[in-house]
Amino acid sequence: MSRGEYWNEEIERMAAEPRRRLENARLQEQIAYNCAHSAYYAAKLDAAGLRPGDIRAVEDLARVPFMEKSELAASQADGTLLGINQCAPIERVVRIQATGGTTGQPLRVGWSRRDTEDYGEMGARALWAMGCRPGDIVFTTMNFSLYAGGLSDHLTFETVGAASIPYGVGQSERLLRMMAAIRDPLAIWATPSYAVRLAEVAREIGIDPRSVGIAKGFFSGEAGMQVPGYREAIETTWGMRAQDMYGTGELALHSGECAHRTGLHYGGTGFAVIELIDPDSGAVLPFRDGTVGEAVYTSIRRQCCPLQRMRSHDLFQVWTERCRCGRTTFRFKVLGRTDDMMIVKGVNVFPLGIQATLMTLAPRLTGEFQVTLHRPPPIDYAVPIKVEVARDVPAAQHADLARDVVDALKKGQNFTAEVTLVPQGSIGSDKKVKRLIRAYRTDAP
């Protein structure tokens, strides 16, 4: 079957009106279902003086209290398998995975068979937009052990029909030798920092990354692809086309960018609605071109562990004008975690902004960095930042380079930095890189 440009054309090109009708109808059903199967959700509505029938449209959600991941975590702390938002009996559950909890404890999430199919549908829309097709030979290099972003996302490549190879994390040398031994063009699904690291390993063992033959890169797990220069560096190094995607363990891999690279196309239409809120006041923000706000998720078709106004603490910037690809769903960029944002002398600083500034000093810098705050706000001191210096920069030039970094951050990001240059490869790793460490917190890693 030929699908053309879209995985699901009817949904992805739906006009705003019918989309709203679909969302509102499913929302009404979902809220009634949540309240009938979860005392926690019933109590949430009760607390606001609402009955399930009062929620008739997405706009009505503004009256429903938020849920926090910490509430779910607390409800699992006594040994309860899935906790307060479990709405389907265990006999209907076919998969249990975990997401990162706020306290570092993994949060268990269950899926019914239909939920897993819906997960695959959302992911397939994203991957198709990114150019993934049957015939692609995709090495998937995420952690399959427990987290939804591993196995479940891997299975979305199967849903699309790609020839998917579940490689997992680690053993980079073996991976490179295996890839280099295959004559056909390949694809990889990885974090951006792993692509950088893997190129390092390739050079260490005498393999030119471009000779490996990776034509397509599908990237997730970090926002690095949206940093100017970072993507280009990966594409040049490998000779690949690198596309960005996004998901969250509680919902799914749900969004990917199209060939026009105008942001991530939301692929969760019909399964979840996203509201944007002011992270401080909780007020709902108008969904307009350019709006920045924290994403709040509400499931509208979910059997096992539905989300009902779950705060993500992720900051999105959204665009609502139709993309040239013809998709009508909104597009977004992830600016970072609301708690990864730091305010230095009244200026909001995002990790992505820092990375963008550092990339202006490529190829002397790799773009990898880590900020460590030793004292709680206010940040009225030079911000300690470790910055990776490229291997071929002679040590004699490091002092000058460190001064250039301080100047660039002052000019580009409006803060004074205390820069420590660290060797290439010492920050980027197989795992998600933590960009901002609040060392003063007792729960800091």
Site residues (vs Zn ion, CB under 5 A): 258, 260, 323, 325, 327
Pick the closer one to Zn ion by CB: 97 or 328: 328
Residue number, 260 or 441, with CB nearest to Zn ion: 260
Residues in a beta bridge with 248 = 252
| C-alpha–C-alpha distance, residues 379 and 285, integer Å | 28
Q: How far is the CB of 153 from Zn ion (least distance, A)?
A: 21
Nearer to Zn ion, 258 or 310 (CB): 258
Give the amino acid at 255. Answer: S
**Which CB, 187 or 258, lies closer to Zn ion?**
258
Continuous H helices in 218-290:
230-238
CA distance 335 to 218: 19
Q: Could you tell me which residues are beta bridge partners of residue 139? A: 165, 188
Quick one: 216 or 327, whose CB is closer to Zn ion?
327
Helix, strand or coil, per DSSP, at residue 243: strand
Is residue 417 within a helix (H) or strand (E), and if so which, with residue range?
A: strand 417-423
Q: How far is the CB of 3 from Zn ion (least distance, A)?
A: 16
Q: Which of 220, 224, 216 is nearest to 353 (CA)?
A: 224
Q: Looking at beta carbons only, is 120 or 267 nearer to Zn ion?
A: 267
For Zn ion, the closer CB: 327 or 438: 327
Q: CB of 260: closest distance to Zn ion in angstroms? A: 5
Report residue 116 as tokens. 């897993």
Q: Which is nearer to Zn ion, 241 or 434 (CB)?
A: 241
Indicate the residue among 311 and 327 with the shorter CB distance to Zn ion: 327
Among 121, 120, 113, 157, smallest CA distance to 139 is for 157
Whether residue 384 has a cis bond before it, omega within 30° of 0:
no
Q: Least distance in Å: CB of 130 to Zn ion?
A: 10
Phi, psi torsion values for 89, nearest 5 degrees: -65, 160
Give the DSSP letter of residue 375: S
Task: List the structure tokens of 396.
Answer: 């004699």
For the bound state, the minimum distance from the C-beta of residue 10 to Zn ion, rounded and expressed in Å, comes to 17
Does a cis peptide bond (omega within 30 degrees of 0) precede residue 378?
yes
How far apart (Å, rounded) are the C-alpha atoms in residues 362 and 377? 31
Shortest separation between residue 267's beta carbon and Zn ion, angstroms: 11
CA distance 69 to 75: 10
Q: Supply the minimum distance, in Å, between the C-beta of residue 325 and Zn ion.
A: 3
147 vs 330, beta carbon nearer Zn ion: 330
Any idea which residue has 């002679």 for tokens? Answer: 394
Give the integer Cα–Cα distance in Å for 324 and 344.
38
CA-to-CA separations, 275 to 87, 178, 256, 295, in angstroms, rounded: 22, 44, 18, 6
Cβ at position 216, least distance to Zn ion in Å? 17
**In angstroms, what is the minimal distance from the CB of 255 to Zn ion?**
11
